[in-house]
Every structure is written in structure tokens, then in C-alpha cells.
Amino acid sequence: MLPVIYSDEFLDHKTGSFHPEKPERLSAIATALKQAAFAQHIEWRLPTLPEKRSIISVLEQAHTRRYIKKVQEIAVAGGGYLDGDTPVSGRSYDVALLAVSAWLDGVDVVLETGEPAFVLARPPGHHAESDQGMGFCLFSNAAIAALYALEQPGINRVAILDWDVHHGNGTQAIVEKNSQIAYCSLHQYPCYPGTGHHTERGFHKNVLNLPIPPSSDIKIYQPIFEKKVVPFLSSFQPDLLIVSAGYDANADDPLASINLQPQDYGLFTDYCLGITRKILFGLEGGYDFDALSKSVVATIERCIA
């Protein structure tokens, strides 16, 4: 059984009718998974309520108190914006805390079972920096999960693979000084947010940025995975691999110009499983509902096979 950590409360982060990061993204994925041929092999789990964790102390490993309070205050006031692209609604703060808790649950279950898990949560996180939310992201879920994992017994190294079409500037900024965390990102360049140059190597040569030119497809990605991604992650010998699983590099996605197909994410998943089965997949981007759903199905199908 593959655990999928999900709650309908993730739909309560309201972004507006015309915003691409909308609740229907999760609804579409959940429907597709429940209709998949392997549906009986999925174990749906509710996330732990944030009040049952010391969630703020966990958040403060990645974000400043001032920023956390700012997000809370905007939500309590009824909503607003962190930047032009990043709305906060009345329930967004609580939902974002629940999303963080879901990612931590994912860490717990992967370390307990030694097998993959998928966190189907929103808002996404990889653009959120320590003192600033941006790019649809409130809290840096993957970075927080990695820091949390390092506090668990026997976990000395955590790797993060970010295959979202946009560079995870927030994740990198939070983890690049930590020698126990490796970060690898494949992202369209040039593209939002304009970071992720190949010369950025981290403070311990623990960062590998792989800018991808627009219009690239699997013929470009496959050798990059084989010659660069897999060797980098394998040599780090992670005790846990976290995948910032964004699916906006699909050809049908409206926010970028990469030409992957949903089945390509199954291949990416195979590469990851060749490194370790201790993998936490967590949703980031992906804004065409059909391509997004099929891509998540392809990812989970490979984990169950």
C-alpha cells in the first residue's frame, strides 16, 4: 500500500477564480487516483493536526518569526497578498500549517516503512524564502521536511530533487548552507523566478542546478538524469530523498514552455527508485488538470509496481 496524505481542508486555501493554483488541482488528482487501476493499493491518510505537533518551532527552522506572524495576520484580517502572485485567504494560514504537517507525516511514514509516500497538499512551497512568500508559496514545505528529517534517529543526509519547471529558490536558499542536505533542481531557464544558475553550487558543493532551455522534451531530460541527476544524488548517499514534485513541465501546462508528457514522470520516478525507496513525493506546481492528474498517476504507479 502506498500512503497518500490528503485532506479536503487543503481546498480551503482560496486563491480566486482566475488564479492557476486553485483547489481544483487537488480534486482532479484525487479523482484520478481513485479511478486508477491500482486504486486499491493506495492508503489515504489524513494529516496530523498542527496543534498536535510543535509546528511553529518546526516552521522557525526555516522561516523567521516575523514572516510567520505576517502570514497569520493577513489571514486573520480576512486575506490579502504576500506578493502579486501569492494570495492569502482567511483560512490560508491554517491550511498552510496543515500542509506542513502533512509533509512531516510523509517523512515519518517513509522512515517507518522504508517505502515511498505521496503528500497531496497545497499551498505549494518551494518558492517561499525564510522571510518572504512568493510564487504561490507560503511555507517552504520541502526544506522544512528535510530539516525535520535530520532530527530523526539515524538520518544524517537528506537529498531534495526538485523537478518542478520553476527553480525552487526558497528551498535552495534555506538548505544551501547545510552540509547534510543536497539540493538538485531541473528547471526551465529563462523562466520565473530567474534563479538557479548552474554556477550556484551551495556552500558545500551540495547544490546542483540544471537549467533546461524552453521547448525541451524527454530526449533532453533523460541524458541529464542519467549523467548528472542520478550520479549527484547517488554519491550523496541520502538516508531520505524528498521530491518537490511539480508537474508544470508538461507540454500542456500554461505557465511554462517545456514539452514533457505525463508518462515521462514515471521514468523520473524509476530513476529515483534506483537511488533509494525511501522517497517522499510532495506536490508543487502543475496547472493543467488533465496533464497534472495523469502525471501523478504515472508517479504513483511506478512506486506501486
Q: Which residues are catalytic?
A: 127
CA 41 to chain centre: 22
Among positive and negative, which fits the CA dihedral 134, 139, 141, 144? Answer: positive
Q: Which long-range contacts (CB under 8 A, 24 or more apart) does 191-198 make?
A: 191/165, 191/166, 191/167, 191/256, 191/257, 192/135, 192/166, 193/127, 193/134, 193/135, 193/166, 193/167, 193/169, 195/167, 195/169, 196/167, 196/168, 196/169, 196/172
Strand segments (E) across 90-233: 117-119, 158-162, 181-188, 207-212
Query: Can you read off the three cell numbers belonging to residue 48?
Result: 496530523
Handedness of CA 158, 163, 164, 165 (dihedral sign): positive
Cell of 288: 493543467
The closest of 81, 19, 44 to 287, measured between CA atoms, is: 19
Measure the CA–CA gap between 203 and 197, rounded to whole angstroms. 15
Q: Write the CB contacts of 159 (distance below 8 Å, at least 6 apart in sequence).
A: 181, 182, 183, 184, 233, 236, 238, 240, 241, 242
Q: Are 138 and 86 in contact (CB under 8 A)?
A: yes
